[in-house]
Amino acid sequence: MAASNLTSRIRQANEAGRKGLIAYLPAGFPSLEAFFDILKELSTAGADVIEIGVPFSDPVADGPVVEQAALECIERGVTLEWILRELPKHRADIDAAVLLMGYTNPFYQYGYERLAADASAAGVDGFIVPDLPFEEAGDLLHALKDTDAELVPLIGLNTSAERMALYTKGFGGFCYVVSVLGVTGGQVDVQALVGEKLAEAKACFDIPVALGFGIKEPSQLAGVGEHLDAVVFGSALITHLREGGTASEFMAAWTA
């Protein structure tokens, strides 16, 4: 079975001697007009995978930076329908793999079969759904089975080895290890908290292992690199853009 686009992009980065770079940005941030231009800039500047955040009114896994940005996007009228309508107009100019990060409610309300079809047509390579546990993921996995899109497994610091193994069947793309027992954008001592869990994930999964939540700069990855294939950043990117910086400037610290 051929590797998914998510897996392939991260493996290509690893073969080039670096970690895969996964950038998160809420759909419609910092404005409807600028959003897709920034996605293209992120891709050109070295992002291997781009997570498009689906704004939701109750983002239980998101910290204050992401939550505030998402609420602003909702006020601009951004919906899942908007994303899947607008993304096809720009997808050919985005070289990076693209996935949707969102919560169960908008996806369920849209309809999983319709979601799978429309996302496939839009060039979506996968989904991250933080509030969809293994026991409730069957319907979405079934809807995606005839597409190239993967449902990415999320692994927490408190996920047992037995439960981790459940996510090796049906899920794919990469394994997303959450670096904190909390929400995005928090403070994290990666080496102290996460090394053991990354090692467990590497031993369990045959797909790349990525680390996210609270990652702001490359120096945080010191000491865990051997267990890590990719890194996810979102809150730091949003803050950088909000302060007037560019996507290229942000990516330069990770590609140097």
d(CA 56, CA 58): 6
Number of H helices and E strands in the chain, helices first, is 11, 9
- Active-site option among 15, 33, 37, 62: 62
Query: Is position 62 annotated as part of the catalytic site?
Result: yes
Q: Tokens in use for 75? A: 């006020």
Cis before 30? omega within 30: yes
Tell me the residue ranges of DSSP E strands in the chain: 20-26, 49-53, 97-101, 126-128, 150-151, 154-155, 175-178, 209-212, 230-233
Residue listed under structure tokens 């899947």? 84
Query: Is position 67 annotated as part of the catalytic site?
Result: no
Contact 188, 223 (CB under 8 A): no
- Active-site option among 15, 37, 41, 51: 51
Q: Hey, which residues are catalytic here?
A: 51, 62
